Amino acid sequence: MKISLTGIKPTGNIHIGNYFGAIKPALALTEKFFGVYFVADLHALNSNPTPKELQQLIYAVAATWIAFGLDTEKAIFFRQSDIHEIPELTSILSAVTPKGLMNRAHAYKAVLDKNAESGRDPDDGVNMGLYTYPILMAADILLYNSDVVPVGMDQRQHVEIARDIAENLNRIYGKTLKLPEGLIAEDVQSIPGIDGRKMSKSYNNTLPVFVPEKELRKQVMRIVTDSTPPEEPKNPETCNLFQIYKFFGTAERVEEVRQLYLNGGLAYGALKQELFENMLKAFQPARERFNYLMENKSEIDQILTQGAEKARELGRPVLARVRKAVGIDK
Ligand code: TRP
């Protein structure tokens, strides 16, 4: 069975953009692929979160995947930092990674651009974790002989860099590493935030999945709409509320609502209330399971520990092959 691998960085509250853009497609892949999914906690260190904050985020992201139905018997699910083969492979891969390749990575370049704009030193706020982020990610991907890597658009370049690094090692030492393919979930790129921009934690425009009902309702009511009165016709295609609603209504109801937009008769407030109720219904089982797991963290630990054992079993032979290829085996 081919391997589908993805890492999930423990940051912020999971929102519906994460769910439709990353979690749902990755879960669907576990039907056809052997899923290797992990919490990328080493990657999160680059932003120097407090230990307490990081711990909480690791549990929350792990609980999210389990709550949404990741079958941890069929797939493996673990914490990146439990895999001691990862730093070793990262170190070997560093030796075949041109510095120029890191200079071209988007995340690093974005910081350089920001610094240039504000007249700061080019490397202000850049740590080596950020600079070599793609090498650590390449180790994640290459250690398990991954075939496909489902990621959002923003991670596409990182998967390409992982391929480049694998190709370099293969060119220098002979064919050793499998070249992975990125699988980009393009059709769901378009889920807008409550202000119409791309839904993103950094814009503070998300609809989070696992917050108390009251908070969720408040956020749904904050979805920005224009001030066209109910009786007047409106354009559903340019309406942020409709674009979000589409993910939560049945096909017939979405069509009905579309007609209400076009012909007049739609009140935004009523549609928001309906959206809120649909969201609660859609996420009810996941919300319950999430809350249970966050109250019973030892169950999460147990799943992650078992997953790590399986992941290391999978990765060990690959690392052994790499060590042999480069000449550091015993
Ligand atoms: N960099 C990814 C992100 O920020 C997380 C990640 C770490 C990852 N290692 C990975 C994704 C390996 C895919 C494959 O979202």
Would you say residue 204 lies in a domain?
no
Confidence band for 202, pLDDT divided at 50, 70 and 90: confident
Would you say residue 240 lies in a domain?
yes
Q: What is the pLDDT of residue 11?
A: 84
Asked if residue 41 and residue 155 are part of one domain, the reply reads yes
Residue range 103-131: mean pLDDT, rounded: 96
- Determine the residue of 5, 9, 41 to mutate for testing ligand 1's pocket, defined as the one with the most ligand atoms within 8 A of the Cβ atom: 9
Q: Residues 71, 210, 226, CA angle at the centre, nearest 5°?
A: 125
Q: In the block, which residue shows the tokens 């009165």?
A: 229
Asked if residue 319 and residue 222 are part of one domain, the reply reads no
Per residue in 46-85, pLDDT (tens digit) is 999 999 999 999 999 999 999 999 999 999 999 999 999 9
Cα 7 to averaged position of ligand 1 atoms, centre (Å): 4
Asked if residue 107 and residue 11 are part of one domain, the reply reads yes
Per residue in 154-179, pLDDT (tens digit) is 899 999 999 999 999 999 999 999 99
Asked if residue 313 and residue 167 are part of one domain, the reply reads yes
Cα 156 to averaged position of ligand 1 atoms, centre (Å): 10
Would you say residue 93 lies in a domain?
yes
Would you say residue 250 lies in a domain?
yes
Asked if residue 98 and residue 46 are part of one domain, the reply reads yes
Work out the number of other CB atoms within 10 angstroms of the CB of residue 162.
25
Q: What is the pLDDT of residue 152?
A: 83
Asked if residue 56 and residue 168 are part of one domain, the reply reads yes
Asked if residue 317 and residue 172 are part of one domain, the reply reads yes
The verdict on the CB of residue 155 being under 6 Å from ligand 1 is yes
Integer Cα distance of 134 and 105 in angstroms: 8
Judge whether residue 98 has pLDDT over 60: yes
Per residue in 226-261, pLDDT (tens digit) is 999 999 999 999 999 999 999 999 999 999 999 999
Judge whether residue 188 has pLDDT over 60: no
Do residues 63 and 293 lie in contact, with contact meaning Cβ atoms separated by under 8 Å?
yes
Confidence band for 90, pLDDT divided at 50, 70 and 90: very high
The verdict on the CB of residue 81 being under 6 Å from ligand 1 is no
- Model-wide pTM > 0.85: yes
Q: What is the pLDDT of residue 50?
A: 97
- Enumerate the H helices of 45-173 as residue ranges: 51-67, 85-94, 99-103, 106-117, 128-131, 133-142, 156-173
Which is nearest to 9 in space by CA: 170, 187, 133, 188?
133
Integer Cα distance of 286 and 210 in angstroms: 8
Would you say residue 275 lies in a domain?
yes
Asked if residue 122 and residue 13 are part of one domain, the reply reads yes
Do residues 68 and 96 lie in contact, with contact meaning Cβ atoms separated by under 8 Å?
no
Confidence band for 187, pLDDT divided at 50, 70 and 90: low
Q: What is the pLDDT of residue 190?
A: 66
Asked if residue 309 and residue 270 are part of one domain, the reply reads no
79 is written with which tokens? 């914490």
Residue range 257-274: mean pLDDT, rounded: 96
Do residues 146 and 5 lie in contact, with contact meaning Cβ atoms separated by under 8 Å?
yes
Q: What is the pLDDT of residue 189?
A: 56
Asked if residue 231 and residue 159 are part of one domain, the reply reads no
Do residues 195 and 203 lie in contact, with contact meaning Cβ atoms separated by under 8 Å?
yes
Asked if residue 225 and residue 164 are part of one domain, the reply reads no
Q: What is the extent of the structural domain holding 48?
A: 3-191+296-326
Integer Cα distance of 52 and 73 in angstroms: 29
Residue range 300-310: mean pLDDT, rounded: 98
217 is written with which tokens? 């309702």
- CA torsion angle 300 13 191 229 (round to 10): 130
Count of domains in the chain?
2
Asked if residue 130 and residue 55 are part of one domain, the reply reads yes
Query: Among the atoms of ligand 1, which is closest to the Cα of residue 5?
Result: 14
Residue range 11-40: mean pLDDT, rounded: 93
Would you say residue 229 lies in a domain?
yes
Would you say residue 198 lies in a domain?
no
Per residue in 6-17, pLDDT (tens digit) is 999 998 889 999
Q: In the block, which residue shows the tokens 């990081």?
A: 54
The domain that holds 84 is classified in CATH as 3.40.50.620
Q: Residues 303, 5, 294, CA angle at the centre, nearest 5°?
A: 30
Which is nearest to 158 in space by CA: 176, 177, 133?
133
Work out the number of other CB atoms within 10 angstroms of the CB of residue 224.
15
Would you say residue 205 lies in a domain?
no
Residue range 207-232: mean pLDDT, rounded: 95
